Amino acid sequence: MLLGPEVGARTVGFLTRGTGTVPPFPQLTEREREVLDHVACGLDHRAIAQRLALSPKTVRNHLSNVLVKLGVSDRGQAIVRAREQGLGRGRPHPRSARGCRAEQQDVIDAEDPVLLV
């Protein structure tokens, strides 16, 4: 049976619906992946902790687990690997519903001193 390109695409979509896609780094927990996504956005432990309602120590623990599971020795290598897989690119994370740019701006705004004249 031969199908045109549009019908073929719809057929493939119908047949693969519900199979889901494998998230990047399937060895990570959802929370670890979320922390890595924020790290790849350039946020520090404190900003990530605030965003995810965690303590900074918990964020450090998650990041330590991420480094071990990815087989990298530091945060910079983890960021490179995360960005290669599409994390930290400004797309909102499913649980935070906000992208990197909005989060980075919040951090910048929170750290800007207020000048009263």
Sketch out the chain's domains with CATH numbers: 24-103 (1.10.10.10)
For residue 34, give the nearest of 51, 55, 9 by alpha carbon.
Answer: 51
| CA nearest to 38, candidates 84, 107, 111, 103 | 103
| Integer CA distances (angstroms), 38 to 15, 17, 52, 67, 113, in order | 34, 29, 10, 14, 24
Mean pLDDT computed over every residue of the chain: 78
pLDDT at 114: 46
Q: How far is CA 99 from the centre of its chain?
A: 9
**Residue 91 CB: number of other CB atoms within 10 A?**
13
Q: Is the pLDDT of residue 109 over 70?
A: no
pLDDT digits (tens, 9 = 90+) for 1-46: 666 666 666 666 666 565 567 788 999 999 999 999 999 999 999 9
CB 76 within 8 A of CB 85: no
